[in-house]
Structure 1
Amino acid sequence: MQPISSKLILLVISLLTFSNFASSYEIETLEGGLYRFIDDRHRSVFMITKQGALITDPLNTAAATWLKAQIKSRFNVPIKYVVYSHNHSDHIYGAEVFNDPKTIFVAHKLAAQDIHNTSANTVAPDLTFDDEMRLNIGTQSVRLNYHGPNDGRGSISMLFEQQKLLFVVDWIIVGRMPWQKLWSYDIQGMINSTQTVLTYDFTTFVGGHADVGNKQDVAHYLRYLNQLYSQVTAGALAGKSLADIQKSVDLREFSDLANYEQWLPLNIEGVYERLMEESGMGWRPDISRP
């Protein structure tokens, strides 16, 4: 019997690994040529037209490789645009898979700046904007808007205008609590940004995590953020300790959100830390500390 070559062993391992990755990926049909791409707990959206495809966050190299192959086999159209939602690597890595002279990479100027300054291992944007940009493919249009600080740098909303579908990553999540201690969030900024997008004409919401929802779900999420922020702020102004605030905050109205029991204390802690540090309440002479 001939010995198995090391190259053959590596090939088999690579195929098995790719197969395992592929089994965790899904493409869900939305509406009007839109699709949601799912990689474990991350989501992105892409649009297919006769003229080509618009891809949002590529997520990572393995996911992007699988998605590119699926678009080729299912639709056989070129990739016209890749749009980054913001600067965080768990959403915009893997873009090299789509790197082609005919593909335009798009991001807000602050996300592009951060990608450059931090030498992020992704494709640098070709096209940037300040406040608003509209991308057109055939009869379809996508409106990109920057709303100020909310999560990361250069985080934007994407409104697929004909389908009335809004895509936002990280700073709006429907059907689930905000992520644990809200580490990278500007919480007041999230509130401001969410208030703005609720004035937009959309009926379907897709986030970079969690569920697909509607405008009512986004409004429910905004009420949670407002009450969380206001109740923690009131406790801090009263000189309560973090532990006392965690005991006194009453947000049972939002117990329908996934991870409510596990993450509510963490959400409260995250808001409290932002108030003490970023808002400077920790060293204000008019606020007593326990």
Structure 2
Amino acid sequence: MKRTTLAICATLALSTSALAQEATREIQNVTGDVYRFQNNFHFALVVPTTEGTVVVDPINADASGWLKDNLNQITDQPVTHLIYSHSHGDHASGGAVFEGAHVIAHENAPAEIDGVAPTERIGDTHSFDLGGKTFELTHLGPGHGEDMIAVVVRPENVAFIVDVAAPERLPWQNFGGANIDDWAKQIEMAESLDFEVFAPGHGRVGTHEEVGATREYIEALREAVLSGLKDGKSIDELKAEVKMDDYAGWSQYDDWRPMNVEGMADYLTKAGLVN
């Protein structure tokens, strides 16, 4: 297996009216035999072993097809295991490309995920060994979805954690209507895991301590928004006043901070936590 960083970019023409969009795709070494596959702003985990290759998240059919065609850049072993971090379509589509793989998902996942029925459904924890690697799967509980799994790969001690946190990156827009207190608990569960390298489903690779930084952001945002709501401030006033200046250098700050504020206010109000 090659252990150097591989940057294998491709352009995929997607016809939308008379225009075409380019898809940025590359396979990047994280550490040891652990890689991330980038498809634009989404990442999958790829771990080749001597007995087969494990992929976490197919992303979509075009992305998985590209990965399957280019896997020989890092291994001659086919994809034998496909793990779903969760069932949201932007990460979990296109799994049928890896036909014949052993498919693992949480027991709360749908019966089929984009037409693929999991071979194995897990509960709170599950682990398996393959080709000298150990894969430890942990259900993070409800929050951002009901079927979210974190995957830790050993001996590299890399954790692949999707959507609930990312190094120095604001949470998605308005939190997608999720129970944000449960989301924070998902992060706490991820923090409790034993790993060194944090490989997220979006953004750059980070460290264990950067998982907790996202929780701290959510908690500070919650406190500021709740205080404003109790003072009778409107959503527009909160979006203007809750600046979260300590996080101004984080990715998506300019675009998503106002949406984070609005999403937090909506959650707190609908959950009956303001009065």
Structure having the higher helix fraction is 1
Q: Residue 85 of structure 2 contacts residue 105 of structure 2 at CA under 8 Å; is this kept in 1?
A: yes
SS at match of 1:105: strand
| CA shift for structure 1 position 219 | 2.4
Q: State the alpha-carbon separation in 2 of the partners of residues 115 and 93 from structure 1.
A: 14
Q: Residue 92 of structure 1 contacts residue 122 of structure 1 at CA under 8 Å; is this kept in 2?
A: no
The question of 1:132 aligning with 2:125 is answered yes
Q: State the alpha-carbon separation in 2 of the partners of residues 71 and 276 from structure 1.
A: 48
1:153-232 correspondence runs (5 A): 153-232=146-225
2:272 alignment counterpart: 280
Q: State the alpha-carbon separation in 2 of the partners of residues 85 and 150 from structure 1.
A: 14
What is the identity percentage for the equivalent residue pairs of Structure 1 and Structure 2? 28
Deviations 1:11-53 (A, max 9, x none): xxxx9738x8886210001122111000001111110111111
SS at match of 1:267: helix
Structure having the higher strand fraction is 2
Counterpart amino acid of residue 103 in structure 2: F
SS at match of 1:30: strand
* Compared CA separation, residues 238 and 56, structure 1 to 2 (3 A): same
Q: Residue 99 of structure 1 contacts residue 123 of structure 1 at CA under 8 Å; is this kept in 2?
A: no
| CA shift for structure 1 position 184 | 4.4
The question of 1:150 aligning with 2:148 is answered no
Q: State the alpha-carbon separation in 2 of the partners of residues 16 and 142 from structure 1.
A: 32
Gaps of 5+ in 1: 1-14
2:68 alignment counterpart: 68
Q: State the alpha-carbon separation in 1 of the partners of residues 177 and 118 from structure 2.
A: 22
- Over aligned residue pairs, what C-alpha RMSD do you find? 2.1
| CA shift for structure 1 position 233 | 1.8
The question of 1:42 aligning with 2:35 is answered no
Deviations 1:71-124 (A, max 9, x none): 245411132210001111111111111011xx210000111xx244xxx52311
Q: Residue 166 of structure 1 contacts residue 202 of structure 1 at CA under 8 Å; is this kept in 2?
A: yes
* Compared CA separation, residues 81 and 184, structure 1 to 2 (3 A): farther
Q: Residue 22 of structure 1 contacts residue 66 of structure 1 at CA under 8 Å; is this kept in 2?
A: no
Q: State the alpha-carbon separation in 2 of the partners of residues 17 and 240 from structure 1.
A: 47
1:17 alignment counterpart: 13
SS at match of 1:175: coil
Q: State the alpha-carbon separation in 2 of the partners of residues 96 and 137 from structure 1.
A: 22
The 4+ residue runs of structure 1 with deviation greater than 4 A are 20-23
Name the stretch that deviates more: 65-74 or 267-276: 65-74
| CA shift for structure 1 position 281 | 4.4
SS at match of 2:38: strand
Computing the radius of gyration from Cα coordinates, the structure with the larger value is 1
| CA shift for structure 1 position 135 | 2.1
| CA shift for structure 1 position 250 | 4.3
* Compared CA separation, residues 90 and 16, structure 1 to 2 (3 A): closer
Q: Residue 222 of structure 2 contacts residue 264 of structure 2 at CA under 8 Å; is this kept in 1?
A: yes
1:110 alignment counterpart: 108
Q: Residue 21 of structure 1 contacts residue 62 of structure 1 at CA under 8 Å; is this kept in 2?
A: no
Counterpart amino acid of residue 249 in structure 2: D
Deviations 1:167-226 (A, max 9, x none): 111111223211111114331112112122222221111111111111232222221111
SS at match of 1:183: helix
Q: Residue 107 of structure 1 contacts residue 128 of structure 1 at CA under 8 Å; is this kept in 2?
A: yes
Name the stretch that deviates more: 147-156 or 61-70: 147-156
Counterpart amino acid of residue 221 in structure 2: L
Q: State the alpha-carbon separation in 2 of the partners of residues 125 and 16 from structure 1.
A: 29
Q: State the alpha-carbon separation in 2 of the partners of residues 132 and 22 from structure 1.
A: 38
Task: Give the count of matched residue pairs.
Answer: 260
Deviations 1:248-271 (A, max 9, x none): 324111111012122111100001
Q: State the alpha-carbon separation in 1 of the partners of residues 248 and 188 from structure 2.
A: 22
